[in-house]
Amino acid sequence: MNQLSDRIKKLGESATLKMAKKSREMRGQGIDVISFSLGEPDFDSPDFIKDSAKKALDDGWTYYPPVNGYLDLREAICNKLKRDNDLHFEPEQVVVSTGAKQSLANLVYSLVNPGDEVLVPAPFWVTYPEQVELAGGKVKTISTTVENAYKFTAAQLDDALTQQTKMLIYSSPSNPSGSSFTRDELAEIAKVIEKYPNLIVVSDEMYEYITFDGTHESLGQFPAIREQVVIVNGVSKGFAMTGFRLGYMAGPLWLAKACTKFQGQITSGTNSIAQRAMITAMEADASSISHFVETFRKRRDLILGLLSEIPDIKTSIPTGAFYVLPDVSAYFGKSHDGFVVNNSEDFSLYLLQEGHVALVAGAAFGVPNCVRISYASSDEQIIEGMKRIKETLAKLS
């Protein structure tokens, strides 16, 4: 008997979680697998964050919180947005959720009707199109190239948008490419968005604090489109708080109210203890996590150097996050011991089975010629993993 809904049948499994699951299964069989598949910092949450969570327990923060988050947390988020991004929001414009993934789902379900067009430039985070399609929307993409660091241009955006486009979703720094938009690039994009006053733009800035070149720039900084831009962020990456499951949106009041209404019927308020710890993160100075950023910068340089030693791999230089997105299409059509690599899925499966290294195929991110490599791993793991990749690819002919 199969009584599952058509909705769940159409929903794809997260490619990143799927590869992580395969890696765990192989490790359970005693196979030494090096995983570059998950986007999770390999650091513990900072002690001052953990101490804050412990104090919240001792202070009795164990009751249902407000649906949109504690007021003092939303105030702390507003202060952070003003301090770091020069963006002004009132607490009523902020909704705290169980991870930025829920913030995105709240927005999609609050805005997208069946048949609505949503623009999702590629490469994109795997969840964007799945959520849009789950809501009945139609995904439209913009293709980018490694030569342009996988960034869409204002001209491409202008060509892709129509007056019927309901929403644009993108990330900077990007998951999966690690690319970031400069202020000048965003200024040109903002000029295009001005021409489409009914367009809502979701700016996913989850990797804001992991930026290597200059400062993070937000699309929300341009006054002419401020009421069209929704900021989505959280503490999972910058503060290594993935298990706390905390994200937030900040946007127009009417949309924040809609997201609160939707969330109230799905999960209600997110974890009370985690929210108290998030206040501490929002009030923290960026210097408290600077060692995270410097570590990722060194790992980026390490992995780029090792990738350069592998023939026929093309990649850009990431300016943020902790991913690299090499173009591996030169290996398509090659084979070893009966295994033919026809696409990025085959490429990833071949490396997992033959080299015991887990990557994520680029098709899931809208870039079928690529694979995503997360360098949220130790130097030793990166060196050994890249050695295995080089040796395993050398077997292909």
Q: Which CATH number does the domain housing residue 174 bear?
A: 3.40.640.10
- Of the residues 285, 300, 332, the one at which a domain ends: 285
d(CA 248, CA 79): 14
Residue 230 contacts residue 203 (beta carbons within 8 Å): yes
Instruction: Express each pLDDT in 234-292 by its tens digit.
Output: 999 999 999 999 999 999 999 999 999 999 999 999 999 999 999 999 999 888 889 99
Q: Which has the minimum average pLDDT: 27-31, 49-53, 171-175?
A: 27-31
* 95 and 117, same domain (yes or no): yes
Helix boundaries (H) for the chain: 6-10, 15-28, 47-58, 71-85, 100-111, 127-134, 154-160, 183-194, 253-264, 272-283, 290-307, 344-350, 379-393
Q: How many domains does the chain have?
A: 2
Write down the pLDDT at residue 15. 67
In this structure, which amino acid lies at residue 257?
A: K
- Count CA atoms closer than 13 A to 105's CA, side-chain side: 19
Instruction: Express each pLDDT in 98-149 by its tens digit.
Output: 999 999 999 999 999 999 999 999 999 999 999 999 999 999 999 999 999 9
d(CA 375, CA 35): 9
What pTM, to 2 d.p., does this model score? 0.94
* 264 and 299, same domain (yes or no): no
Give the strand pairing for 360-361 and 371-374. antiparallel
- Of the residues 239, 266, 285, the one at which a domain ends: 285
Write down the pLDDT at residue 121. 98
> What are the backbone dihedrals phi and psi of residue 96, each rounded to the nearest 5 degrees, phi first?
-90, 135
| Residue 58 counted as domain residue | no
Provide Rg for the chain, Cα atoms.
21
- When pLDDT is averaged across residues 158-171 and rounded to a whole number, the result is 96
Closest alpha carbon to 376 in 292, 314, 289, 287:
292
d(CA 152, CA 219): 14
Q: Provide the domain limits for residue 245.
A: 63-285
Q: Which 3 state secondary structure label does DSSP give 374?
A: strand
- Of the residues 244, 266, 285, the one at which a domain ends: 285
